[in-house]
């Protein structure tokens, strides 16, 4: 599986990254064995980039990911976690669960927003302990929507110092909007943006500012949420979009996308996975999984050839703007990002990093 470097640094990400929110019991429990098997399946498929956060299951995702990777060579994979939410223990005997925040875990801690320099250092120290590693490759400022000034003035400089000291490899910001990440790209030296849900077949908000800025400045973008909360896996009444029931106009657009993809014999989720790679700033697509079966399906869909005629029909139907970049078919039936063609002779099957 191909890898792409982030910014001007030495950190690289695999074409497909595993998002590990599900390992933190997102919405429903996942067993320890299934969490391990999911990471193993991703590894066997060539995935070498793994993303987690303290927020995911109040630290459970970090603990499980660390346990799943503990026997892997540390230099063979890229590990990403996030800062901005400190986990503060609840009083002993406190009852309840964390389902209000989306995670089926006991409410042993509460989250406290903190983008101060001290908060960043405390968060990283705790993450290193939970992950059981001595370094983290990519540190992302996590959802600083309502804390932009503190994140820019305090959290980012603290991370910049750690990067200069070699404690971390790359700095980024992870958000569900594109405007503030574009500001980080312009005003700081971040290496990467994790953009969730805003550069998909349904929503190309990221194309207006963020992606052109990132491409012009040589910054990497990792695209998450390519299925828009599941709507692009199986569009139907009641399907979710941005974690809520899809509005009728959005559902109708998704159904039109489905009709076009089916006419070309391509599952919609395959087109959704491959679409972001048309933009030269996109380094990786991050998807979540809670089982080996979900990993296998994602990898299979990512490898599926997408005919140029599908993108042409989407444009003709007004489902993509004429100037929206799309992937091109590579030799051998592979689909490669525009400007990021696979090296001559590269195998189509996963391979171990050199």
Pairing of strands 3-5, 12-14: antiparallel
- The residue from 56, 77, 199, 241 that is catalytic is 56
Q: Is 243 among the catalytic positions?
A: no
Q: Residues 17, 222: contact at Cβ < 8 Å? A: yes
DSSP, collapsed to helix, strand or coil, labels residue 13 as strand
Pinpoint the alpha helices (H) of the chain.
32-44, 60-69, 117-131, 148-150, 156-164, 179-187, 210-217, 248-263, 268-274, 292-303, 308-316
Q: What is the DSSP string of 199-253?
A: SSSS--GGGTTHHHHHHHHT-EEEEE-TTGGGTTTS--TT-EETTEEPPHHHHHH
* Euclidean distance between CA atoms 94 and 179, whole angstroms: 39
* Euclidean distance between CA atoms 349 and 88, whole angstroms: 44
* Euclidean distance between CA atoms 132 and 8, whole angstroms: 27
Q: Residues 22, 64: contact at Cβ < 8 Å? A: no
Q: Which of 313, 228, 329 is nearest to 274 (CA)?
A: 329
Task: Kindly tell me the sign of the dihedral angle through the C-alpha atoms of 323, 329, 331, 334.
Answer: positive
Residues serving a catalytic function are: 56
């Amino acid at each position: 599986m191909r890898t792409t470097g982030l910014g001007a640094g030495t950190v690289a990400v695999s074409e497909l990254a595993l998002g590990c929110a599900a390992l933190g019991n997102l919405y429903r429990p996942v067993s320890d064995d299934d969490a391990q098997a999911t990471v193993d399946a991703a590894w066997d498929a060539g995935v070498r980039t793994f993303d987690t956060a303290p927020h995911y299951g109040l630290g459970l995702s970090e603990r499980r990911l660390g346990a799943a990777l503990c026997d892997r060579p540390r230099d063979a994979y890229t590990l990403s976690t996030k800062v901005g939410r400190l986990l503060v223990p609840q009083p002993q005997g406190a009852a309840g669960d964390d389902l209000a925040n989306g995670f089926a875990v006991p409410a042993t801690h509460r989250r406290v927003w903190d983008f101060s320099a001290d908060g960043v250092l405390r968060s990283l120290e705790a993450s290193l302990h939970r992950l059981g590693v001595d370094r983290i490759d990519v540190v992302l400022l996590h959802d600083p929507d309502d804390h932009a000034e503190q994140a820019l003035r305090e959290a980012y400089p603290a991370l910049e110092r750690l990067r200069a000291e070699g404690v971390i490899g790359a700095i980024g910001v992870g958000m569900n909007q594109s405007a503030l990440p574009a500001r980080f790209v312009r005003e700081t030296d971040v290496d990467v943006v994790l953009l969730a849900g805003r550069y998909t077949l349904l929503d190309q908000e990221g194309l207006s500012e963020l992606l052109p800025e990132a491409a012009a400045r040589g910054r990497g973008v990792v695209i998450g949420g390519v299925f828009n909360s599941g709507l692009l896996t199986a569009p139907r009444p009641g399907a979710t979009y941005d974690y809520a029931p899809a509005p009728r106009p959005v559902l109708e657009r998704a159904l039109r996308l489905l009709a076009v993809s089916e006419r070309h014999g391509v599952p919609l989720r395959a087109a959704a996975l491959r679409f972001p790679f048309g933009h030269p700033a996109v380094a990786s697509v991050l998807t979540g999984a809670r089982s080996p079966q979900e990993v296998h399906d994602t990898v299979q869909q990512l490898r599926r050839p997408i005919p140029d005629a599908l993108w042409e029909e989407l444009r003709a139907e007004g489902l993509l703007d004429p100037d929206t970049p799309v992937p091109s078919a590579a030799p051998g039936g592979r689909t490669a990002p525009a400007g990021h063609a696979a090296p001559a002779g590269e195998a189509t099957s996963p391979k171990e990093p050199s």
